[in-house]
Amino acid sequence: MMAMAEEHADLELHPLSIDDIRSNPNAPRDCDDNGHGEANGPGAPSAIFSVAMGLKRKKVVSDPVRSPRKKLEEVPRPLSPSQLAVLKWKRAARQALHMEDPWAMFHLERFKAERVRRYRYNALNKAWLEDEALVKMAPDPFGRGAMRECFRMKKLSSFAPAQNWAHASNYVAKRYLEPVDRSTYFDDVRLQMDAKLWAEEFNRHNPPKKVDIFQVSIIEFVERPGSPLYHMEHFIEGSYIKYNSNSGFISSQATRLTPHAFSHFTFERSGHELLVVDIQGVGDLYTDPQIHTAHGSEYGDGNLGVRGMALFFRSHTCNCVCTGLGLTPFDLAPSEMLVGTPASAIAQGAKTRLRGHEELCVGMSEYERQHLAEALGPPRQRIRTYSSPCYSSHEAGHQENDAIPMLQQQDSGFRSLSSGSEDTLEDYSHDLELGSDSEDTETLQHQITNGHQHLNGDRASAVPARLRRRQRYDSESSTIGDEHERAEFQRLVAQRARPSSVLDEVKLRQLVRQQQGRPRDESQRSVLGQIHLEMAKCHENGRFGDTTHPEGKYDQAAAVFHLEQAARCGVLEALLVLAKVHLGLPHDLLEDWTLPESDENTSKGVEYLEQAARAGDRGSMIALAKALDTGEGLGTQKQRNWQDAVLWYNMAVTTTDNDEGGEYDGCMDDPPYLLLARQAELYLQGGYSLERDPATAGELYQEAAAAATAAMKGRLANKYFQLAEDAQQEAC
């Protein structure tokens, strides 16, 4: 019994049921009408135990003996990062092809096909390209905003062999509600494509999440009366969220860090020249942005200039993405930090985490700011496949040797992996196998391990020919650029960072002055200081809505804080306001802010006055010279000094260029001939650290007489000529 139990130990035993007996094929069959039937023969198995005797045995997994060589051949090699990217792109394309059309219920294919003229903008070359396309658009809008309305539209691919509208890509056509100039449509496209360059510059710094801005173009319905214009961009399915606006609004519904860090990045990376705001879209695919520039003279009426930048930083709080990119926090008043901003609450609930691979943001040099197209993306073409990521510098050489461009330059200039071009997807879909994910992976793994060279060989030949066939030039409108060449370029160009903190701005301005050996730099206009000045004005006007203060009042401490920060940055208007406040003079900004008279406040006022004079303000030069001349209103830090007074008098006379505010003050209340005559009097008398010099006094009287003659002051000119003769005789 023990031996029998061991022999049948591998049998799977189950209770015998009636169904097993009924389904037994060896059971006797019923007789037919003629009495014939089949019975079990003597050698037939038992009707009862036939099922049990046919039980399946347990599967025993045994390792067959294989040769080491055969086992090595069957083990697949691990995929390289580029090959994994091939799988990801292939899987993404397959999923896109199998997605259901969200607009199928609207039956856009039933509408009339119209031929349109399409205008596309190349932000690098700053050139427009034209071509024709075939579209079908719904007659009624499906959405309407404050300024524009949206229409559903399908566009036929340029590479489609037949007019299959069922597989045509979905687009959104937008037009203004009110009639606008046709140039407005082109300005909007130029704005969005310029913002797209900054999005790609942001991606080069390896943020935790990459961003992209929709590629938008203009279509002109040439067959319609008046040839109306529409904006055209891809329809992206998903939740449309507005993260921030051009007036400082921050959405509290979406806890996102990347959109606000992207805006902050554009400010520092551009050297305070611009700020990309009004971030909105689906996920990290943005559309309809707005750009604030330092001068406020571009990109339409939505460009609020430094005021728009001030509104952004009033509601912005740096998050971990800003920190990872090396962005510096914007200086806020203590009262503003206590109240907090909407962005600070958003940062607490966000899920974005740093990976440690972020590159620090370095401000652009003067050369880069003047050549943004070269800095943001060299217009040179670089080969890259649609199924692999950017190769390293040593791999790019192999890739360029083997690749053959398939498209003309005009067409390749608007091919973007991130823009989701339907032409790319439909044309490349013929090269994809529409199997399951597991089959796809196994097939590609088999091709890589059995039909191509090893991974340490030529990278181009390591990718299957079926996937390498569609190689194209990288998009000129979304050029990433060769990272090795960009690194070489950045090493050749002197970098000068422009952080958002006032302390770093002050150090930078001091460094510039030391290098140029001048007391001030006329070419350096502190945009950061202008932003702080605008924030002070916004506080006074109640723009920030200080709820902690009574109605009609504002946060005066915060306004004064930003005014002082603007003065530290050398903003002339802020320096003049602070000088007048401390000296007890009337002023326009913060009119209700006054200080008591004291030697300390007077000394601070004279210090601000001197800074304004060094900034090029002629009125401050004259006021400081008169104070040093008479010794009145100098405070405790300075004393009466005619030598310094003559210096400032002379600087006021010779100042003919603009100050740091970009203005020139002729100061007709103190014409040059009066200032020259006063210098002559001081040299003729001498004293207070100024040596007596009648010869110099005579020369100054001569200049004063000539200036008076030019000003049609004949009697005064004769007086100066007589004084000049007397001084020269005394010198002899």
Write out the CATH class of domain 502-670.
mainly alpha
Say yes or no to pLDDT of 220 above 90.
yes
Alpha carbon dihedral 224, 225, 226, 227, in 10-degree steps, equals: 10
Distances (CA, A) of 67 to 70, 72, 76, 530, 722: 5, 9, 16, 78, 120
* pLDDT at residue 542, as a whole number: 87
pLDDT at 672: 92
**What is the average pLDDT value for the chain, to the nearest integer?**
76
Q: Is the four-CA dihedral 588, 591, 597, 602 of positive or negative sign?
A: negative
Amino acid at residue number 337? M
Q: What is the pLDDT of residue 159?
A: 77
Asked whether the beta carbons of 171 and 232 are under 8 A apart, the reply is yes
Q: What is the pLDDT of residue 547?
A: 58
**Number of Cβ atoms within 10 Å of the Cβ of 140:** 7
Residue 172 confidence class, pLDDT cut points 50, 70, 90? very high
Q: Tell me the HSE value of 396 on the side-chain side, using a 13 A CA sphere.
A: 16
CA distances from 64 to 37, 59, 60, 67, 556 (A): 48, 14, 12, 10, 86
DSSP characters over 395-446:
HHHHHHHH----S-HHHHTT--TTTT-HHHHHHHGGGS--S-HHHHHHHHHH
546 neighbors 555 (Cβ within 8 angstroms)? yes
With left for phi above 0 and alpha for psi between -120 and 50, is residue 690 left, alpha or beta? beta
* pLDDT score, position 560: 96
| SS3 labels along 324-338 | HCCCCCCCCCHHHHH
Other C-beta atoms closer than 10 Å to the C-beta of 47 total: 13
- Nearest C-alpha neighbor of 45 from the set 64, 69, 28, 23: 28
CA distance 175 to 227: 13
Higher pLDDT, 712 or 370: 712
Query: In the predicted model, is pLDDT for residue 218 greater than 90?
Result: yes
**pLDDT recorded at residue 170:** 94
Cβ neighbours around 227 below 10 Å, total: 12
Strands 212-213 and 285-286: parallel
Q: CB count, 10 Å around CB of 68?
A: 7
Its pTM stands at 0.69
pLDDT band at 185 (very low <50, low <70, confident <90, very high): very high
The pLDDT of residue 74: 56
Q: Is residue 716 predicted with pLDDT exceeding 70?
A: yes
Q: Which residue has the higher pLDDT, 446 or 213?
A: 213
Give residue-wise pLDDT tens across range 532-571: 999 999 999 988 866 566 666 889 999 999 999 999 999 9
Q: What is the pLDDT of residue 131?
A: 94
- Could you tell me the pLDDT band of residue 338, with boundaries at 50, 70 and 90? confident
227-245 pLDDT, tens digit per residue, is 999 999 999 888 889 999 9
| pLDDT band of 22, cuts 50, 70, 90 | low
Q: Which two tokens stand for residue 292?
A: 């604030």
Question: Can you tell me the distance from the alpha carbon of 484 to that of 642, in angstroms, rounded to the nearest whole number?
Answer: 60
Average pLDDT over residues 686-695: 94
Share of the chain above pLDDT 70, in %: 64
